Amino acid sequence: MDGEQTVLVTGGSGFLGGWCVVDLLARGYRVRTTVRDPAREGELRAKVASQVDPGDRLTVLIADLNGDRGWAEAADGCDYVLHVASPFPPAQPKDPDELIAPARDGTLRVLRASLAAGVKRVVVTSSVAAVRNLGAGTVSPERKLTEADWTDPDNPHLTPYTRSKTIAELAAWEHMRAHGAEERLVTVQPGAIIGPVLGRDRSYSLQAVERMLSGRMPGLPALGFCFIDVRDVAALEVDAMTAPDAAGQRLITAGTFLWLSEVAAILREQLGPAARKVPRRRVPNMLVRALALFDPEIRSVVGDLGRKTTYSLANAERRVGWSPRPVEETIVDCARSLLGQGDPTMADSAR
């Protein structure tokens, strides 16, 4: 790899963005990354340095998905772009446009700047949320979903987050096709991203493990997710920049489906006394639905109660040669990382 190649990573202070920066630096690339708040540069540099020595190869720039300022300068001179930044709030907003507008418009800003700068390829982080919501009764639970499956963004039952990811990805493909640049785009659809944390930024998926360890999850609802390691997603995004067969492709990166009760069992088995606060009892669906009337965080997952969705990884395996590590390893690494971060409620569990 040419050590002079430069990659722009949007949202480098985030959970996945940070690991993308680490992976790129470890492979010898020069990296530019964007943050919205200049006060976060020191924190970002510290967490990257905890994994790899960036030397003089890391540049931090200020840019916001809600405005045009800074994107042309950020992309200028770059060979590749990893567009990772996107809003993911713990609770769904009442106005869907609070998520949809920055996700869609921000993605288009990055693509416009990338095309103007002559970037070779842009990898956009989407989500399995843009794949899996096909409507009740339209797909057998036994069928693994593929990149040919799309969420209907007009489905009135979708959460604002799901609509935002779907609309943003559709807009990305439409924009690149309109400019004859479809082969310069790759989109990645991760499942529930967990794994070792670099700093205080958390993915929504990480909160499930964090709440179990800290005792803030009193019981286990009938919810499950296709968990995937943040390091594996970052590695795929970096590989997808240059893999010839990845051009113009969607790449699902969703790992093994596990119910929260199965995650809890792995934590108890692997962590021993450190997992003493991990719940054992199940929470009935009826109770979850009742709580959702008062808690917007719970309300956003009610539609997934008892629902199991799985995905085919064949396209990522064939196009990029990618396969994830065992999910048990990811869960344990994630938990040990969280336990070591100094949260008093979890530090007490680790004694």
Gyration radius of the chain over CA positions: 20
Task: Look at the alpha carbons of 12, 18, 24, 27 in this order and tell me if their dihedral is positive or negative.
Answer: positive
Q: Are strands 121-125 and 185-190 parallel, antiparallel or unpaired?
A: parallel
Instruction: Round to whole Å and give the CA distance between 299 and 294.
Output: 8
Residue 272 CB partners (closer than 8 Å, separation 6+): none
Query: What DSSP character marks residue 228?
Result: E
- 93, amino acid identity: P
The two structure tokens encoding residue 142:
């036994």
Known active-site residue 165: yes
- Catalytic residue, chosen from 47, 94, 144, 165, is 165
Residue positions annotated with a catalytic role: 165
